Amino acid sequence: MEFVPTELPGVIVVKPRVFRDDHAGTIEAVDATLVRLLMENGYVPVLTPPALAEGGVPINVDGDKLALELAEALRAEGLLFFSDTPGLLADKDDESTLIRSLDVANPEEALAVAAGRMVVKVESAVKAVERGVGQVIFADARVERPISRALAGEGTTVRAGVVTT
C-alpha cells in the first residue's frame, strides 16, 4: 500500500486490516512534524494508539510499536516504557527477579525471558536500539516520580553493549 500524505502533519498513515470487526493496522510511516513543532515550543505531546488510515478511517495500532516508530522518527536518545512491574522480570510473578539490563546483541536471550505483554515491549525495545535510539528503559508506572526514577537507573535498561544480568 502506498503512503498517501494527509492534510494534517503528524498524522500516522497505516495499512488497515480488520480483525473481528475492529479496525486495526500496522504503522507504515510517521510524520513527526507536528510532534517536533510542539516539543520545540515547550509542549509535551501525549499520543495515543488510535491513528488515521488512508481516507481518514480511524484504526487502532499497538502503543509500543507506535512509541518505537515515533522514537526513531524523532531520532530520540531514549525511550521509556512504563507498566505495572518494576521492569522486565525473569519470573513474571516475582518482582524480586528484576533484570537490570539487556544487550540487544542477544535479542533471542532478551525475548526468551519476556512473557505475556512484555514480548511486544522487548521486541520494540530491541528494534529501537538497533535503529539508533540510544537506550530503552522498562520502568514502574506505579511509583512516585516514575520518569525521574527511570532516568536515575531504576528498571531494566536495554541498549547495545551492556552486560545481561
The reported pLDDT for the residue numbered 95 is 94
Q: SS3 of 122, please? A: helix
The three three-digit cell numbers of residue 105, written as one number = 546483541
Q: Has residue 116 been placed in a domain?
A: yes
pLDDT for 53-104, tens place per residue? 777 777 888 888 888 999 999 999 999 999 999 999 999 899 999 999 998 8
Q: Has residue 71 been placed in a domain?
A: no
95/138 same-domain check:
yes
The reported pLDDT for the residue numbered 98 is 95
91/162 same-domain check:
yes
CA distance 126 to 112: 13
Domain that holds residue 126: 78-165
Q: Has residue 147 been placed in a domain?
A: yes
The reported pLDDT for the residue numbered 22 is 53
20 pLDDT more than 60? no
148/113 same-domain check:
yes
Residue 7 pLDDT level (bands cut at 50, 70, 90): very low
84/3 same-domain check:
no
pLDDT for 99-150, tens place per residue? 999 988 887 877 888 888 888 889 999 999 999 999 999 999 999 999 999 9
Residues in the chain: 165
What CATH number corresponds to the domain at position 163? Answer: 3.40.1160.10
Place of cell 510511516: 29
152/121 same-domain check:
yes
133/93 same-domain check:
yes
CA-CA-CA-CA torsion sign (6, 80, 17, 2): positive
Partner residues linked to 160 by β-bridges: none
- Count the domains in the chain: 2
